[in-house]
Structure 1
Amino acid sequence: MDDTAVNDIARFFRRLQWALVALAVLWLVWLMGPVLTPFVVAALLGWLGDPLVDRLQRAGRSRNTAVVLVFALMALLLALALLILVPTLQRQIATLVHSLPNYRDWFVDTAIPWLEQRTRLDLSTWLNPEYLIEQLRVHWERAGGVATTALGYLSRSGFAVFAMVANVVLIPVLTFFFLRDWDVFVERVASLVPRDHLGTASRLAKESSDMLGGFLRGQFTVMLILGAMYGFGLWAIGIDLGLLIGIVAGLLTFVPYLGPASGVIFGVIAALVQHGDWKHVAGVLAVFGIGQVIESYWLTPKLVGDRIGLHPVAVIFAVLAGGQLFGFLGMLLALPVAAVANVLLRYAHARYTQSRLYAGQSPAPGVGAERVSGGGIIVPADSDDEGEGKA
C-alpha cells in the first residue's frame, strides 16, 4: 500500500473521529437542555452587551466600571419594560375577558351564518357552543382521564418549577460574569485553534458575530417600534384591545409576514365585534398598511438590512427545527447556528469556485482553455488582463 492510500485512510478516520465528537456534543446538548438554557441566554446577553463595554473601555473607563454601567443599563431597561408592559397587558387581558361574551355572540350570530352563506356548509352544528359542550359531556370520562394525567404530571413536576425559578434567578448573575470575562473567553477559545488556521477562523468568527449581532439588534428594535406603532394606532381609532393586538403583532414580526397578517385578522375581528361598521375596519387596515410601508421602506432597510444573509424561509425553518430538536434551547441557538453556518457556506463556496474540481482540467472541444479568476469568474487563458496573470 503506497503512502497516498495510507494518508487517505488516515484522513478518513480523522474526519470520522470529528464527526463522532460532533454527534456526542449534540447528544449532550439535547440531554442537558434545561441546564444549559440560562447559560445560553446569559451568553447571548453578554455577547450583545460586550461591544458597548469595549466602547466604554476605549473611552477611558476600567473593565469593571464599564461592565457595571452596561449591566445597570440592561437591568434598567428590563425594569422599565416590565413596569410599562405588565400593567398594560393586565388591563388589556381584563378587557378581553370582559368582552368574551360579545365575541362569542358575534361568532355564533354573525360569522358562522356569513361563512355558511358563502361556503354552503353546515358549520353551525359543528361550531355551536352548545354542541361542543355536549360533546365534552359525552366524552367527559376520557377528558377526565387526560386531565387526571396532566394534573398528576404537574404534581410530580414541582422540581421542574423550582428549576425554572432558579434559572430565572441565575440569568442576571451569569450575564454579569459573561460581560466581565467575555474577552477572556474569546482568547481562551482562540488559543485552542491551530495556528495555521487562526487567521481564517478569526475572520469567519468576526463575520458571524457582526452579521448576527446586527440582525438581532436591528430586528429587536423593529419589533419594539412596530409594536408601539400598531398598538397606539389601533388605540387611536377606538379599538379597546388595540394595545394587546399591537404588542402581539409586533412580537410576531420576528417571523416574516406572520406579524402583520395576525394583527390584521385580530384587528378586523375586534373592530367588527366592538363597532360593527366598515369605517373602523378601514382604520385597522390603514394602521397596518402604513406600518408595513414604514417597515418595508425605512425600518428594515435602515436597522436590519440583509445582515444575516438568510432568506425568511430559512430563518423560519431554523427556529422551528431548533425548537423541534432541542426545545427552547434550540430556538435560542437557531439563529446563531444559522448565521455561523451561512458564513461557513459562503467560505466553502468561495473555496469551491477557486478549486480544480470547479474549474476543470481540460478545455472543451473547440473552445480556448479557460480558468477561474480570483473572483470566481471564468476567463479565457489567453486574456491579456494584467490582474489575471496574478490570480
Structure 2
Amino acid sequence: MSLPVAVPVPPAETPPTANFAYRTVTAAAIVLAMVLLVVIFTAAASAFFLIFGSLLLAAIFCGLGRLLQRTGLPRWAAMLTVFLVTLALIIVPVLWGGLAVVQQFSQLLSGVRDQANTLLKSLADLGLPVSPDTTANDLESMLPNPSGLVSSAGKAVFSALGGLGNFFVLLFLAIFIAWQPGLYRDGLVSLFPKEKRARIADVLEQSAHSLIMWVAGDAISMAMIFSISWVGLWAIGMDNAFLLALQAGLLAFIPTLGPFVAGVVIVLAGLAQGVDMALWALGVYVVIQGVESNVAQPVAQRFTSALPPALTLSVQIIFGLLFGLLGFVLAVPFVAVLVTLVRELYVVDVLGGPVESAE
C-alpha cells in the first residue's frame, strides 16, 4: 500500500494592494525624513556650519601636522607645534598694532563706500536707471559699518564678543578633533553594521584627504594672489596696498565671486586717488586675474579635482540665500566633501560606478 504523497502548497501571493501600500508608506517615510532633515538643518544652520568650519580647520591642522611629521617629529609634537604657532599668529598681530590695522581697514571701507556712492550718482546723472539713494542705502547695509569696528558702544561690543566667542569655539573644536581624529572617526564608523565598517572608514578617509587637498590647493592660490596683488599695488603707488592685497588673498578662498568682489574693492579704492589710479588699479586687477586663471588655478588643481563651475556657483547662490554669509563662504568645501561621499557610497557602491564620458 503506497503512502500518500504530500503535495507542496504554493506560498500565498501578496495582494497587489498590499505591495502598493507598502511602497507608498516607504516612499512617504523617506520624503518625510528628508523634509525633517532639511528643516532641522535650516533651523540649526549656524551650528552645523560652525561644526563644519571646525572640521575644515581640523583638516588644515592635520595637513600641517603631517608635513611636520615628515621631518621626523612624532605626531604629538607636530600637532602641538601647529597649535602653538596658530595661537601665536592670532595673538601677536592683535597685541602688535592690531588696533591700528582695524582703524586703517575702517578708513579703507569708508573710502570705498564713498567712492561707490559717488559713482552711482554719476551714473544716475547720465540717465542710467540707477537710484542713488536706494542703492546707497543698500550699500550701507552690505558693507560693514567702519565706526562699529572701533566703537565702544554696547551693541558693537556684544556683537564683537559674540563673533569672538564663535571663533574660539570653532578653534578649540578644531584642536580637539585634530588631536584625536581617530576617536571621532571610529565612533562614527561604529554606528554602521560590521560588514560595512571597513568601507565607511575608507570613504571617510577619502573625504578627509579630499578636504585637506582642497585646502592645500586653495591656500597656494590665496598666497599667490596676495603676493602678486601686494607687489602690483605697491608698484603703482596705491594707498593701503597691503590691506587691499590681504582682502584679495582672503577673498580668493571663495571661488568664482570672491575675486570679483576683491577687484571691485581695489578699483573703488583707486578712485579715491583719482581716475588715473583707478585705471592703473584695474590693470593690476586684470593681471591678477590672468595669473589666477593661468597659474594659480592650474597649480591648485594639481592637488584636487576641480568642481564644475556651474555646480560651484549654483551651490554658492543657494547657500548664500538660505544661510547667509557663512553658508556662502563654506559652500564649496562642503560640496567638495559631499561630492566624495555621494560618488563613493552611492554612485560606486549602489549604482556600480559613474558613466564613462565619451569626450
What is the match of residue 50 of structure 1?
62
Q: Percent identity?
A: 22
Structure 1: stretches of 5+ with no match in the other structure: 134-153, 356-373, 379-391
What is the match of residue 177 of structure 2?
178
What CA distance in whole angstroms lies between the structure 2 residues aligned with 1:332 and 1:85?
24
Q: Is the 8 A contact 1:36 1:329 kept in 2?
A: no
What CA distance in whole angstroms lies between the structure 2 residues aligned with 1:56 and 1:11?
54
Residue identity matched to 1:231: W
**Secondary structure, aligned partner of 1:274:** coil
Change (3 A) 1:103 1:167: closer
Q: Is the 8 A contact 1:350 1:376 kept in 2?
A: no
What CA distance in whole angstroms lies between the structure 2 residues aligned with 1:274 and 1:78?
32
What is the match of residue 233 of structure 1?
232
Shift in Å, 1:274: 1.8
Is 1:317 the counterpart of 2:330? The answer is no
Q: Is the 8 A contact 1:204 1:344 kept in 2?
A: yes
Is 1:286 the counterpart of 2:283? The answer is yes
**Secondary structure, aligned partner of 1:187:** helix
Change (3 A) 1:290 1:323: closer
What CA distance in whole angstroms lies between the structure 1 residues aligned with 2:129 and 2:318?
35
| Number of equivalenced pairs | 328
Is 1:93 the counterpart of 2:106? The answer is yes
Structure 2: stretches of 5+ with no match in the other structure: 1-11, 138-152
Q: Is the 8 A contact 2:111 2:272 kept in 1?
A: no
What is the match of residue 144 of structure 2?
none
What is the match of residue 371 of structure 1?
none
Q: TM-score, normalized by length of structure 2?
A: 0.68
Supply the RMSD in Å over aligned alpha carbons: 4.6
Larger Rg: 1
Deviations 1:114-158 (A, max 9, x none): x62xxxx2789x6489xx99xxxxxxxxxxxxxxxxxxxx99999
What is the match of residue 68 of structure 1?
80
Residue identity matched to 1:324: L
How do 1:356-371 and structure 2 match up within 5 A? none
What is the match of residue 144 of structure 1?
none
What CA distance in whole angstroms lies between the structure 1 residues aligned with 2:289 and 2:193?
48
Is 1:2 the counterpart of 2:13? The answer is yes
**Secondary structure, aligned partner of 2:237:** coil
Shift in Å, 1:310: 1.9
Residue identity matched to 2:322: L
What CA distance in whole angstroms lies between the structure 2 residues aligned with 1:52 and 1:99?
36
What CA distance in whole angstroms lies between the structure 1 residues aligned with 2:73 and 2:106?
45
Deviations 1:53-89 (A, max 9, x none): 4565687655543432221122233346655876445
What CA distance in whole angstroms lies between the structure 2 residues aligned with 1:219 and 1:264?
18
What CA distance in whole angstroms lies between the structure 2 residues aligned with 1:99 and 1:342?
38
Deviations 1:245-279 (A, max 9, x none): 433333333444534444444444444552443xx
Q: Which has the higher contact order (CA 8 A, sep 6+)?
A: 2
How do 1:1-391 and structure 2 match up within 5 A? 2=13, 17=29, 20-36=32-48, 38-53=50-65, 63-79=75-91, 87-88=100-101, 90-94=103-107, 97=110, 111-112=122-123, 116=126, 121=127, 127=132, 163-277=162-276, 280-281=277-278, 283-305=280-302, 307-327=304-324, 330-331=327-328, 334-347=331-344, 348-349=346-347
Q: Is the 8 A contact 2:222 2:253 kept in 1?
A: yes
What CA distance in whole angstroms lies between the structure 1 residues aligned with 2:258 and 2:272?
21
Residue identity matched to 1:28: I
What CA distance in whole angstroms lies between the structure 2 residues aligned with 1:219 and 1:80?
25
Q: Is the 8 A contact 2:112 2:265 kept in 1?
A: no
Residue identity matched to 1:343: T
